[in-house]
Amino acid sequence: MFIAEQRMAKIAAGHPDREDRVVLFDAGEALAAEEDGRLRLPRAAEIAPGSLTAEGRLFLGMLDGVRCFAVRGGLPEKPERPVIRVGCRRMLADLSDAERNAFCRGRELVLWRASHRYCGACRSELLPSANDSALICPVCGTRYYPQLSPAVITAVTRNGGRELLLAHNRGFEPGIYSLIAGFVEAGESAEAAVRREIMEECGIQVRNVRYLTSQVWPFPNSLMLAFAAEYDSGTAAPDGEELTDLGWFTAEEHPRLPGAGSVARRVIDMVFDGKFR
C-alpha cells in the first residue's frame, strides 16, 4: 500500500534510510531492482550513496510500511545487481500497483518542483506549504499546486464492436498502432474532447461516447481518461500531421500494439476480448 504525503513542507524534507524505497530516474530511464523475474523499487542501501544526494530529493510517503523518496539524476552507468537501469515505461508495466503509484507521483512531483521555483505573478521564490501540497509565494500569497494535464484516449469501434480503429502517430516507434488520443482543451468537457480529437485527426464522427477508466501517465504529468465510442459517419483517414496511418482492425488481424502497463493496451485488449459486443 502507498500512502502519499500531502504536506509540501514535509515532502521537501528528509533523507532515506537503508530500507527506504527510492524512485530514482533521469530522462526516460529509472533504477529498479530485479527480483524473482519482476521489478521493484530499489532500497536506499542498494543504491550508491552519491545518487541520493541529488538536488530536488522529495519524500513521497509510506510504501508498504517504509518511507519512499524520489530523486532525479545520478543514475550509475553500471549499477550492481539486483539493481538495473530500465526504461520508465517498463517500470509502469512491471511494478506492483502500490509501487506504480509511488513511481508516478515521484516522477511528476520532482519534475513539477524543478519547473516551479518562482512565482509567476511577482517572481519571488516559492516556499513549501505546511498544510497541503502547494507552493506558496511569501510576497503576494499566490498558491501553486502540482499540475495535471487531462487527456482523452478512445476506442472507436464499428461492426458491433468487432472492428477497432487504430492509428500510427508520428511520435510512435515504427510499426506501433494505438488508440486516438489528445489533450482536453480549456473550456472543454472530456466527452467533447473525444469527439473533437477524432474528427480532427481521423475525419469521422462518433456516437455513444462513454467513460471506461483512467490512468496516471507521468510523461510528464498526464491523466489519461479512457473512453469507448461507436463509429457514426464519415471516412476515416489520417490527418497527415499527428497521424500517418490508420485502419480498422480485428482481434485476429492487427499491427503491433502498445506494451503492457498502458491504459491504451488495456482498453485494446478489452475490445479484442469482446467486451463491447
Report pLDDT digits (tens) over 21-48: 999 999 889 999 998 889 999 999 999 8
Q: Is the pLDDT of residue 277 over 80?
A: no
pLDDT band of 55, cuts 50, 70, 90: low
Largest Cα span, the chain: 62
Q: Is the pLDDT assigned to residue 77 strictly greater than 70?
A: yes
pLDDT tier, 19 (very low <50, low <70, confident <90, very high otherwise): very high
Q: Of 27, 69, 64, which Cα lies nearest the Cα of 44?
A: 69
Identify residue 63 by its one-letter amino acid code: L
Average pLDDT over every residue of 47-59: 79
Who contacts 272 (Cβ-Cβ below 8 Å, separation ≥6)? 164, 250, 251, 254
Please report the pLDDT score of residue 49 as a whole number. 75
What is the rounded average pLDDT for all residues in the chain?
A: 94
Residue entry with cell 512531483: 109
pLDDT of 76 > 90? The answer is: no
Integer Cα distance of 254 and 260 in angstroms: 16
DSSP-derived pairing of the beta strands 135-136 and 127-128? antiparallel
Residue-wise pLDDT tens digits, 165-220 = 999 999 999 999 999 999 999 999 999 999 999 999 999 999 999 999 999 999 98
Output the pLDDT for position 54: 63
Quote the CA–CA distance of 192 and 190 in Å, as a whole number.
5
Q: If we measure between CA atoms, which residue out of 127, 158, 157 comes closest to residue 143? A: 127
Alpha-carbon distance 177 to 194, whole Å?
Answer: 18
127-176, pLDDT tens digit by residue?
999 999 999 999 999 999 999 999 999 999 999 999 999 999 999 999 99
